[in-house]
């Protein structure tokens, strides 16, 4: 295998990670979309709630950034810290998906609020683990932490106004 082929082959895992993270987002969208014009439309909206159209582009960008961060960690030599970081990535991705089911699928704003706190902690833990393996990967997670921090406040406000 020549150098160019070897270089290109390392991008297949990146493509796979992007596909997986976007699929997690798609699963969340499948649960979310039917609730937007029905249950969600009937909720009292907090003043800080952004317009509905903003969520899709923001989440798409965040999922791609998550995937690139995981790929940067994956590219590092195998080690216990790398393995732990990638496990935390998988955990936070699963928790990310769970939130959509709780909030939109089941209409359980209260459980979604509890779960988003756990999700936030898992994202922070992932970011810290990434920092020990790839500083660039950790930096790519910062917008995700910021957005989920905002989402947690928004979730709280929905719970406060509609609970």
Q: What CATH number corresponds to the domain at position 16?
A: 1.20.1260.100
35 lies in which domain range? 3-162
- For residue 58, CA distances in Å to 11, 28, 62, 65, 122 come to 24, 14, 6, 11, 20
**Span 7-19, average pLDDT:** 88
- pLDDT tens track for 21-64: 999 999 999 999 999 999 999 999 999 999 999 999 999 999 99
CB 25 within 8 A of CB 59: yes
- At 6, the pLDDT band (50, 70, 90 cuts) reads low
pTM: 0.93
146 Rama sector, left if φ>0, alpha if ψ -120 to 50, beta otherwise = alpha
* pLDDT of 8 strictly over 90: no
At 100, list the tokens.
């959509």
When divided into structural domains, the chain yields a total of 1
The whole-angstrom separation of Cα 35 and Cα 105 is 7
> How would you class 80 by CB atoms within 10 Å of its CB: exposed for 0-12, middle for 13-18, buried for 19 or more?
exposed
Asked whether the predicted pLDDT for residue 3 surpasses 70, the reply is no
């Amino acid at each position: 295998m020549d150098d160019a082929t070897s270089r290109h082959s390392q991008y297949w895992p990146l493509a796979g990670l992007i596909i997986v993270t976007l699929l997690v987002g798609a699963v969340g969208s499948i649960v979310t979309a039917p609730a937007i014009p029905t249950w969600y439309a009937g909720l009292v909206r907090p003043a800080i709630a952004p317009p509905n159209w903003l969520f899709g582009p923001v989440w798409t960008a965040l999922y791609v950034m998550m995937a690139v961060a995981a790929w940067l960690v994956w590219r590092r030599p195998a080690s216990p810290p790398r393995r732990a970081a990638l496990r935390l990535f998988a955990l936070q991705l699963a928790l990310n998906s769970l939130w959509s089911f709780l909030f939109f699928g089941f209409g359980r704003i209260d459980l979604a609020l509890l779960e988003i706190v756990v999700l936030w902690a898992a994202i922070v833990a992932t970011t810290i683990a990434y920092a020990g393996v790839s500083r660039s990967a950790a930096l790519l997670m910062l917008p995700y932490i910021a957005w989920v921090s905002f989402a947690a406040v928004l979730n709280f406000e929905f719970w406060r106004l509609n609970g």
